[in-house]
Structure 1
Amino acid sequence: MKLPYTGQVLVKNITSDIGVLANMGFGEKVRYARKQLGLTQTQFAKVLGVSFATVNRWENNQVNPSSLAQRAFEEFCESSFISFPAE
């Protein structure tokens, strides 16, 4: 059921969003970046040059990335203008 438009606009609390982003683990950052780009895990894996299973395991916190993979992810985010607040 769709509610009628009342002319009011909801404003997100950006401060709370920043707090959530600053406390993200690696898997949450991977999911956040992927969703920002509108990619599936398979598509994101291809872009990063890893397997679907790797992205899936990162997002589900089953595996921690190697330092090389983590740096590659960070560089990808920088080049794609996806930033995370300083922790």
Structure 2
Amino acid sequence: MRAVITVIGKDKVGIIAGISNTLAVSNVNILDISQTTMQDVFTMIMLVDISNMTISFTKLSEELEKKGEEMGLSVRIQHEDIFNSMHRI
């Protein structure tokens, strides 16, 4: 099972490390990552494998949001099928 994580906020040192660590603690594997900085705005999309995570999806979402708040970022996670349905033209 896969999910999509989006991260948006002011660029600073440690964003990828902070989010990656939160995922690693819950046994979530990063499959693909795309990030860019436009002027001082950081954006990242991660495709992750949640098949073997050690906590519930809801708890993971809460942990990512909490980490985002600590870092001044907006962090959201969605199941891949929901993400794809929402972004179909």
User: What TM bracket, shorter-length normalisation?
Assistant: 0.3 to 0.5
**TM-score (normalizing by structure 1):** 0.37
Higher relative contact order (CA 8 A, sep 6+): 2
Bigger Rg over Cα = 1
- Bigger proportion of residues as strand: 2
TM-score (norm 2): 0.37
